[in-house]
Amino acid sequence: MHYSDTTIIIPIKNEPAVVKVAKDVIKNMPACKVIVIYKGHLDSASKSRLMKYNNLSILRQKDDGKGAACIYAAKFVRTPIIGFIDGDDTYSATDLKRAVNLVKNRVDMVVGDRLSRIQRESMPHFIEFGNKVLSVMSSVLYSVKINDTQTGLRALKKSVFDTLDLKEKRFGIETELNVKVGKGGFRIREIPIEYNQRTGSSKQMKLIDGIKLFFITLKFLFEV
């Protein structure tokens, strides 16, 4: 199966594993397009290795935040399917391929569920607990039944993405995607995925980040 109908966005900030992640994505999804968008430093050696792939583009991010990176990079996507995977090698390109295949089979958005296969060294208890709280909130407030709302692995139809008017510039982008796809009446499916230890320095969320996500989840109640 070829994936010329798919573009994968890899947002990074000083991620040493990005070349491996991009290689794995291209290996698993032949003919797919890849956009690496970076904030911070991307060394010349990594750039050179990335540019060997014909279907890969590199963008420099202007605004801060993962959400800003995803929204900006999506403007350059011309394929019917768009996917997202973090550049720290915590996610498997094989799982992303499974998500994309389900979108090909008429699911509107597929998200990866890390919580069903937790490796404790990859996700501390307090991160798991925070995820579950946010998942319950999304279910109660918006009828969006997703077990792992903050997953960084997902795929969806570009036509659906374009209807969402996404605005969250930082780590609230996953919450915004979940809520707006759900409120739009689109079909969401969740699949169990592997979640591995990150390559490079840790960027696990802190308590203050969880509090911010709590209020981000609430704020969509007041959007028309």
17-26, 124-133, 209-218, range with greatest mean pLDDT: 17-26
CA-to-CA distance for 43 and 200, rounded, in angstroms?
15
Which helix H or strand E contains 34, and what residues bound it?
Answer: strand 33-38
pLDDT at 102: 98
The better pLDDT of the pair 204, 99 is held by 99
Task: Give pLDDT tens digits for 18-39.
Answer: 999 999 999 999 999 999 999 9
CA 84 to chain centre: 4
Quote the mean pLDDT of the chain: 88
CA geometry: angle 4, 9, 12, nearest 5 deg:
150
CATH of domain 6-222: 3.90.550.10
CA geometry: angle 153, 69, 110, nearest 5 deg:
25
pTM greater than 0.85: yes
User: DSSP characters for 49-87?
Assistant: HHTTSTTEEEEE--SSSHHHHHHHHHTT--SSEEEE--T
pLDDT at 144: 81
Task: Give pLDDT tens digits for 29-81.
Answer: 999 999 999 998 899 999 999 999 999 999 999 888 999 999 999 999 999 99
CA-to-CA distance for 91 and 168, rounded, in angstroms?
22
**Three-class secondary structure of residue 135 per DSSP:** helix
Domain boundaries, the chain: 6-222
